[in-house]
């Protein structure tokens, strides 16, 4: 796996321009350092971030761009100082692969909010001066601190979406103590993140209400995912029926939507956590002030939370709902993701389709 010669040693799929169209691309991974782990990638989840950066929606895309930050695989090689992993271990890599390690957040294992900014898994400046390339590729070299042990017996294919979709909802749920049985949780949006919020909510013993604009999601929300209630958010009567009834809301919707109607559903001192990216957040101050409510934001999670979540999922038999695809299907998959035509997370079978 080492790359002493500088020859291309990794096969991936990359976007070359803001069209976002992906095609095969050979490139060079850095040599393995003393505290690095090299893993053969078996699966990679497909996240909306892959759409955003391949199409330069953030404005900072560096091409050729290899996306993918829900990575799982098998350790092929370890550096001389690595002590957490050995060859053959099942390992995950999430949304970042490095951080300053010295700031108060890194010291608290909250590297995702590193003061100097974490090194993202793709489209970020790596330690060797190259641009990081993600999991739509045959292998990756990552410092051991930013790798996660996949618990024994937990399927690699199921672990992939946990590394972004899963941790993005798990971390704020734990931060805001949403693991109290008997409390009530609302989940806005039922995509990759939303369906994991429902699963975690049920595992924590919460009473879970799903809010969606799509009646077609009702049966799956209730029967497949185990939600207790399903509310059409555009139906005023249904919304009025759950006024001031929720302790918590997790808002995973990235489309623009009003906030006041949801704030009105929270009990006094209720908490709404925003993990989606609408173009603006607008609400009447009274929605917040008069009910002593909290509006909070969150991104993925630190290394401690991520490892804890993987172990929680294994212990509680929590598995994302996935559609397994070959890498050749990725351009169609990204279009379907944009159109919300996936239940509920695409996972690429890297091992069997990236040749």
CATH number (1.10.620.20, 3.30.429.10, 2.40.110.10, 3.40.50.720) of 166-297 reads: 3.40.50.720
Output the pLDDT for position 214. 86
**What is each CA distance from 315 to 58, 90, 235, 245, 278, in whole angstroms?**
37, 17, 38, 30, 34
Distance of CA 98 to the CA centre of its chain: 17
The CATH code of the domain at 10-164+303-349 is 3.90.180.10
In 3-state terms, what secondary structure has residue 335? Answer: helix
- Tokens of residue 239, six digits: 């919304």
| In the chain, ranges of CATH 3.40.50.720 domains | 166-297
- Tokens of residue 164, six digits: 């972004």
Of the candidates 334, 271, 329, the one whose C-alpha atom is nearest the C-alpha of residue 55 is 334
| Residue 274, beta-bridge partner list | 251, 297
Output the pLDDT for position 5. 41
Give the whole-angstrom CA distance, residue 309 versus residue 304. Answer: 9
| Residue 40, beta-bridge partner list | 74, 139
Question: For 247, phi and psi rounded to 5 degrees?
Answer: -80, -35
Residues of the chain with pLDDT under 70: 1-7
| In the chain, ranges of CATH 3.90.180.10 domains | 10-164+303-349
Give the whole-angstrom CA distance, residue 198 versus residue 61. Answer: 33
Output the pLDDT for position 343. 87
The angle formed by the CA atoms of residues 213, 194 and 39, to the nearest 5 degrees, is 145
Within the chain, strands assigned E span 10-15, 22-27, 36-45, 71-78, 90-93, 96-98, 119-120, 139-143, 147-149, 184-188, 207-212, 229-232, 246-251, 266-274, 294-297, 322-325, 345-349
């Amino acid at each position: 796996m080492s790359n002493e010669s500088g020859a291309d040693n990794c096969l991936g799929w990359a976007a070359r321009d803001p069209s976002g169209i992906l095609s095969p691309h050979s490139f060079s991974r850095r040599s393995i350092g003393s505290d690095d782990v090299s893993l053969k990638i078996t699966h990679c989840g497909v996240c909306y971030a892959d759409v955003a950066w391949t199409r330069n929606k953030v404005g900072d895309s560096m091409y050729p761009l290899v996306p993918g930050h829900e990575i799982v695989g098998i350790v092929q090689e370890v550096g001389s100082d690595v002590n957490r992993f050995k060859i053959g271990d099942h390992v995950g890599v999430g949304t970042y692969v490095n951080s300053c390690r010295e700031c108060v957040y890194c010291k608290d294992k909250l590297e995702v909010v590193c003061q100097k900014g974490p090194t993202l898994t793709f489209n970020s400046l790596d330690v060797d001066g190259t641009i990081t390339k993600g999991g739509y590729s045959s292998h990756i070299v990552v410092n051991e601190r930013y790798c996660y042990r996949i618990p024994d017996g937990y399927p690699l294919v199921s672990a992939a979406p946990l590394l972004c979709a899963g941790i993005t909802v798990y971390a704020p749920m734990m931060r805001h103590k949403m693991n109290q049985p008997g409390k009530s949780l609302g989940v806005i949006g039922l995509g990759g993140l939303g369906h994991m919020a429902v699963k975690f909510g049920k595992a924590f013993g919460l009473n879970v209400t799903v809010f969606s604009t799509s009646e077609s999601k009702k049966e799956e929300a209730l029967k497949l995912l185990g939600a207790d209630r399903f509310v059409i958010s555009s139906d005023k009567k249904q919304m009025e029926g759950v006024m001031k009834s929720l302790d918590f809301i997790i808002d995973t919707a990235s489309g623009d939507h009003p906030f006041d109607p949801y704030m009105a559903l929270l009990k006094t001192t209720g908490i709404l956590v925003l993990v989606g990216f609408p173009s603006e957040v607008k609400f009447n101050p009274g929605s917040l002030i008069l009910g002593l409510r909290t509006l909070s934001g969150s991104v993925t999670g630190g290394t401690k939370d991520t490892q804890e979540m993987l172990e929680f999922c294994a212990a509680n038999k929590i598995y994302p709902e996935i559609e397994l695809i070959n890498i050749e299907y990725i351009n169609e998959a990204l279009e379907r993701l944009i159109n919300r035509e996936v239940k509920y997370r695409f996972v690429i079978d890297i091992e069997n389709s990236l040749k």
